[in-house]
Structures are given as C-alpha cells and as structure tokens.
Amino acid sequence: MQTFGQQLINGLSLGSIYALLALGYTMVYGIIKLINFAHGDIYMLGAFWGYFVINQLHFNFIWAMLSAMIFCALLGVVIEYFAYRPLRHSPRITALITAIGVSFLLENGMTYLFTANTRSFPQVIKTVTYHLGGLRISNIQLLILGTACLLMLLLELIIKRTKMGRAMRAVSVDPEAAQLVGININHTISFTFALGSAMAGAAGVLIGLYYNSIDPLMGMTPGIKAFVAAVIGGIGSVPGASVGGFLIGLLETGVQAIGLSAYKDAVVYFVLIVILLVLPAGIFGHKTKEKV
C-alpha cells in the first residue's frame, strides 16, 4: 500500500504537467480544429524563459512563472498570426504540416542558439521532504500539484464566466453564427492561443523545478503525451484534457513502479489505441454526426 500511495503521489505530480499541456491542445482544436504540434515546444520555451529570468534577473518562482506565462502567451499569439491565420481556410493537412514545421523551427532554432546541451534549472525553492505514514512527498510536488489545479480552476472560470469565454464556446460550436452576432473571430482565436500557451509556459517552469534539467528537445515527448491525454479525455473537452493528463501521469509512474521503465511510452500509446477502439470520442467526448 505504501508503494501504491507513493506512486499515486508521483503520478499526480507528473499528470498535472500533462494536464496543463493537454489543455492547450484541446482548446485550440475545439476552436479551429487544429492539432498544434508546436505546443510542446512552447512549453520548452517557457522553461528556458524561467531559466533566464531566474539566473539573469534573479526572479523568484512566482514572478518567473508569471513572466513565462506572459511570454508564452505572446509567443502563441504571434505564431497563430503568422503561421496559422493565413491557412485558416486551407485544407486541414496544410495547417497540420505547418504546425509540425513550426515545431521543428523552434526546436532547431533553440538548439542553434543555445546548443543541445542539458542545463540545470536553478532551484529557487529549497526542497523539503515530508514523511507521512511511510510516504514521501516533497514541497515541490505539492507546489506543482497545487499550482496546476489552481490554473485549471482559473481556466474553467474564464471559459464559463467571462465574456471572452462565452465567445470561445460560441466559436467552437458555430464560427459563422458567432460572427453574425458580433463576435470577433480573430480576437477569440488569438485569445485561445494565448490561454493555451500561457498554461504551457507555466508547465515548463514547473517541470524545470521538478526535474532540475531542461534542453531544447524537452518538449517533444511530453507534447505528444499531452496530445494523447487530450484525445483520451475527449479532444475539445477542457475537463477531459485535465482528467486525461492525470491518467497518463498515473499510468506512466505505475509502469515505472513495476520495473518496465523502458516501455512507459509504448504503454501510453497502447492505451490510446484501446481507448480509441472502445470510446472513439474519448472519455468526455461527444459523438458528432457530419452532414454528407
């Protein structure tokens, strides 16, 4: 039971990172039906921004995370404006290939500018480990889980209770009708990219604090796993993305706990296949009928 409880704590900490990333995927897909494969690299840039402001400007954790969220939000808006907006009425495969191209551009650009070497993330918070009934939980894990849950709650409030959130939901259902009632489609889509990218920036700082290492290619695998989490939860569903992220985190730590660390990625993709066979729309997804 102690082993189970310990892996549960570890899984929730890791899953909260995947959940924050998955939210960006699911919101963008829900609005413009685009799988933004550059999202994982925005997460990487958020980690590097946190690394820079802590080392050079001596920011504390809170200011580093907030500044990373602002930086990544602006970056997400710029990417949407220059890379995706001109292709909005193009075939989906064109936008998908562009997203992959943006991902490679960010990865190789950072590798060229800062080399591919792994860097130690500055530990602005001293690690304290608590022992509770045979379980070990650190203040970093509690901080990650608490911060992620707070951000997800704020996101839900923005979507449900604000004017822009209502506009996002309207555009996701029927963009043409939303435009007819006075909603600015471009502003709504840009706001969606800003929100999702801000979540990715926060996740980048949190994961740097958790693993104490960052590199220009760190966004590839977590980005794909977060996409898997969004699909499992039901892509387009914000609660589904959160639940999917936690499930992936728990699954990954569970596989590592039984000594199959080499297969942790394969197991995640296997579960994705099973979920899609049983629930094609995901756990929280809704089946939709398309007109012929």
Q: What is the DSSP string of 171-195?
A: HHH-HHHHHHTT--HHHHHHHHHHH
- Name residue, tokens 């190789």: 108
- Alpha helices, H only, 115-263: 139-161, 163-173, 175-180, 185-211, 220-233, 238-257
Please report the pLDDT score of residue 5 as a whole number. Answer: 82
Q: Is the pLDDT of residue 8 over 60?
A: yes
Dist CA 286 CA 265 (whole Å): 27
Q: Determine how many CB atoms are found less than 10 A away from the CB of residue 163.
A: 8
Please classify residue 22 by burial: count the beta carbons closer than 10 Å to its beta carbon, then call 0-12 exposed, 13-18 middle and 19+ buried.
buried
Q: What is the pTM of this model?
A: 0.92
Closest to 236 measured CA to CA, from 283, 203, 200: 283
What does the pLDDT read at residue 292?
44
Summarize the confidence of residues 130-138 as an average pLDDT. 84
Q: What is the DSSP letter of 34?
A: -
Express each pLDDT in 212-261 by its tens digit: 999 999 999 999 999 999 999 988 888 899 999 999 999 999 898 888 88
The pLDDT-based confidence of 289 (bands split at 50, 70, 90) is low
Residue whose pair of structure tokens reads 């998955």 in the numeric block: 22
Classify domain 2-278 at the CATH class level.
Answer: mainly alpha
Q: How many CA atoms lie within 13 A of 41 on its CB side?
A: 21
pLDDT at 290 over 60: no
Q: Cα separation of 210 and 13, whole Å? A: 9
Q: How far is CA 232 from the centre of its chain?
A: 14
Kindly give, in sequence order, each residue whose CB lies less than 8 Å from that of residue 90, ignoring residues fewer than 6 positions away.
none
State mean pLDDT over 137-146: 92
Q: What mean pLDDT value characterizes the chain?
A: 91
Residue 284: pLDDT band by 50, 70, 90 thresholds? confident
Q: Quick one: pLDDT at residue 263?
A: 87
- In the chain, what percentage of residues exceed pLDDT 90? 71
pLDDT of residue 41: 96
Domain coordinates of the chain in residue numbers? 2-278
Q: What is the pLDDT of residues 167-182, one digit of tens each?
A: 999 999 899 999 999 9
